[in-house]
Amino acid sequence: MVTEVMREAAAPATSPDTTCAHCGLPVPAGLRDDSVVDQFCCSGCRTAYAILNEHGLGKYYSFPERREAPVASSGRSFEEFDHPAFAERYVREVRGGRSRIELYLEGVHCASCVWLVERVPLVITGVVRVELDVRRSLAVVEWNAADVPLSAIARGLDQLGYTPHPFRGVERDTMRRREDRAMLVRIGVAGAIAINVMLAALALYAGDANGMDPAFARFFRWVSFVLVIPAFVWPGRIFFIGALAALRTRSLHMDLPIAIALAAGFVSGAVNTIRDAGPVYFDGLSVLILLLLAGRFLQQRAQRMATDSAELRHAVAPLSARVVDGPVTRALPVEALVPGMVLDVRAGESFGADGVVGSGQSSVNVALLTGESRPVAIAEGASVFAGTLNVQAPVRVRVEECGESIRIARLLRAVEDSARRRAPVVLLADRMAGLFVAAVLVAAALTFVIKWRIAPAHALDDAIALLIVTCPCALALATPLAMTVAMGRAAGRGMLIKGGDALELLSSPGTLVLDKTGTITEGVTAVVSCEGPEWLRPMVLALEEGSSHPIADGFRRAWPGVQAMTASSVRHVSGAGIEGAVGGRRVRVGSPRFVAEWATRVSADARAAMHMNPTMTSVHIAVDGEVVAVAAIGDRIRDDARQSLDHLRSQGWRTVMLSGDAQDVVSAVAITLGFAPSDAVGGASPEEKLAFVERLKARRERVVMVGDGVNDAAAIAASHVGIGVHGGAEACLATADIYLTRPGLSPLVELTEGSRRTMRVIRRNIAFSLGYNVIGATLAVAGLLTPLVAAVLMPASSVTVVLASWLGGTFSRSRTA
């Protein structure tokens, strides 16, 4: 469906001669060259086309479905891929002296990508095998290290448009794969046994109805008994292990009642088989094991889907730094840095280690660490921290701390600690399980005692029948299934939920603590308003062209359609502004003081706009000595913030803004968004944020923390439910229970409402399964429960719950799926 749309958009059938020979997108007029047959939309596509044709891979162009995007190669040298420290961490040796690595590839879309990527061995000699997992964009590459360096392979993939990144989760991935395979084997074995035991049971029921030779009946009972033994000792064992663990830790777990029922059923069935009288429940038990395993598998997969997508996303984070080594600079993986090295950090790059600025002046965005939205100026001698972003100009940094001792790593350890301290949440179903076990055991004991007085012959049989029929199969499925369905649908709507407990906690109102920068606001410098004539815009853009300063970026984003003029004799003044000549006039853009040095007159419009919001940075624009426009630069509040917050408040949530930004900025935003003055806290360090959340928790409030940065990570881990927002930092995503892939605050509203609906479905499921159990228990106590009734009643309750979970409205279905 998606590819259909792409093809339509990318196929301008009216002018086929102007589409790119590689990607099929229209060729810009400036790049058209009528003297040759093949046209290209960019140099990346030209290179990729040449490589494919040179190696006889032209067949690629005959596929109806291709990647229809320009080849955006990063053009990096990837030299850090050859460093021993990199190899030690990511490369493994396999048989025959080959090396093997798993790479995450950007830009993998469809079948033709699989074809192309897996033919890389034809393009690069020395590469033995490439295998691509298209859903996860993970490629396994095997090569002979003696013939070709890894950096050359990386460059080759990059030139084809698949920029590679080392995949960090290899170990966890192998572990999970082993778990998945084991679970699949268990389900397969349980399924095969269940089907065959049911066949034997069918023969027994038919024999009951029509009369069967007792010898055959005995044979079928023995067959089902022998068959069911492996189902208990192999796939079914995990329930007994779980129950034992629950007993040992004295906690409530659904495995406990399940294990009791399974054990009661098995023992009484075995005794009845041997003494050749009384009911056997082997068919019901084997189906039960299968259903429970399948439910557990589905739940596990849904939870992983959420963690995986967040993990893959942050596998893209930069991992290398450029080290100055005499006259040259070399790229090294950050693991290989040692104190004393000098790093070259360009504008727009993040620092790879903690250090001190050796030379150069710039400004740094430290929002990741402190939440401060305004860039901080740095000069020689200033400290900079790993992970923060160099905004303005290139600097040289002398490494002081690296590896585990950098500030961000210390912060991450605090995050891990508080995540470990988090009290386990007892789920509704598990709370029910405790009551349930007690009630069933009491009922069974009462049945035995009372029946013993009335009809001693049936006392034991009826008590055991009660234990078996009340096996909480449906109850055990009720919560996980409803949550799995809800989590799957939420993922389709851009909300990745890592654990079901988050849904339960979000279903009733509590205290919602929100970070400001990047959560309530967009987290980037933007032109919020610009009062002045429109003819200025091409002139301002002309001056700012080529500048990577955040304000220049802000202007470019604010006026996307405006064509820049050309500027000459442009002069940057660090920390002040920029000036130059555009269209024969002198133009100055910058701080009020910088512009006032030169422009003495002020236009009426500009004067009116000068008194503005104190949270914004003013930028004045002057032409030929007169200030003609005033722009307000700042961090824009998200469009949906007010509406979403009001909605949450109307549901009973208390909203608190907790920011590392200055108190005056926080208070101003609080007024705009309707926060109570006491609920707008500024200047909070990461440690203070953590303490704030702990204080709320100490007052037994339910705390939901929403944030995006490393500075929020510890607080997110400590809160009851941590939510990481779109574009957040790695640490924050790793600890958050929920990660939003959609920008804005409206997903929060959807989350709380979806959780409420999910809990309603779960309660309904529990009511269903308890209803079935009451009926079953009544029949058992009355001595009316035949094995046939049990065999029908038990799966029927599970199927009801499955259907109710699937059909129950939780999150609205995804629009894209």
Contact footprint for other proteins (CB under 8 A): 59, 63, 110-112, 114-115, 118-119, 122, 132-135, 177, 180-181, 184-185, 188-189, 192, 196, 213, 216, 219, 223, 227
Strands (E), 476-625: 495-497, 511-514, 521-531, 567-573, 577-582, 585-590, 601-602, 617-623
- CB of 691 vs other proteins, minimal distance in Å: 45
Distances (CA, A) of 765 to 136, 318, 472, 498, 500: 34, 46, 12, 22, 16
- CB of 511 vs other proteins, minimal distance in Å: 42
Nearer to other proteins, 114 or 775 (CB): 114
- CB of 299 vs other proteins, minimal distance in Å: 18
Residue 367, helix vs strand vs coil = helix
Q: Give dist(CA 16, CA 26) in Å, integer.
A: 9
> Measured in whole angstroms, how far is the alpha carbon of residue 46 from the centre of its chain?
35
Q: Give dist(CA 647, CA 658) in Å, integer.
A: 19
Nearer to other proteins, 184 or 438 (CB): 184
Taking a C-beta distance cutoff of 8 angstroms, is the pair 791, 284 a contact? yes
- CB of 216 vs other proteins, minimal distance in Å: 7
Q: Give dist(CA 637, CA 673) in Å, integer.
A: 9
Nearer to other proteins, 115 or 452 (CB): 115
- CB of 457 vs other proteins, minimal distance in Å: 33
- CB of 192 vs other proteins, minimal distance in Å: 5
Q: Give dist(CA 745, CA 733) in Å, integer.
A: 16
Find all residues with CB under 8 Å of 671, minimum gap 6, and list them.
none
Nearer to other proteins, 110 or 393 (CB): 110
Nearer to other proteins, 223 or 565 (CB): 223
- CB of 747 vs other proteins, minimal distance in Å: 27
- CB of 362 vs other proteins, minimal distance in Å: 45
Nearer to other proteins, 12 or 188 (CB): 188
Which of 265, 224, 273 is CA-nearest to residue 464?
A: 265
Find all residues with CB under 8 Å of 214, minimum gap 6, and list them.
none
- CB of 208 vs other proteins, minimal distance in Å: 17
Buried b / exposed e over 765-776, threshold 16 CB at 10 Å, is bbebbbebbeeb
Residue type, 21: A
- CB of 136 vs other proteins, minimal distance in Å: 8
> Measured in whole angstroms, how far is the alpha carbon of residue 232 from the centre of its chain?
37
Nearer to other proteins, 148 or 199 (CB): 199
Nearer to other proteins, 122 or 446 (CB): 122
Which of 59, 295, 72 is CA-nearest to residue 795?
A: 295
First to last CA, the chain: 9
- CB of 704 vs other proteins, minimal distance in Å: 35
Residue 73 CB coordination number (10 Å): 21
The secondary structure of 511-534 as a DSSP string is EEEE-IIIIIEEEEEEEEEEES-G
- CB of 119 vs other proteins, minimal distance in Å: 8
Nearer to other proteins, 136 or 407 (CB): 136
Nearer to other proteins, 115 or 559 (CB): 115
Nearer to other proteins, 118 or 694 (CB): 118
Distances (CA, A) of 793 to 450, 470, 728, 767, 797: 25, 10, 49, 16, 6
Nearer to other proteins, 197 or 336 (CB): 197
Q: Give dist(CA 44, CA 30) in Å, integer.
A: 16
Q: What is the 3-state secondary structure (H, E, C) of 679-694?
A: HEECCCCHHHHHHHHH
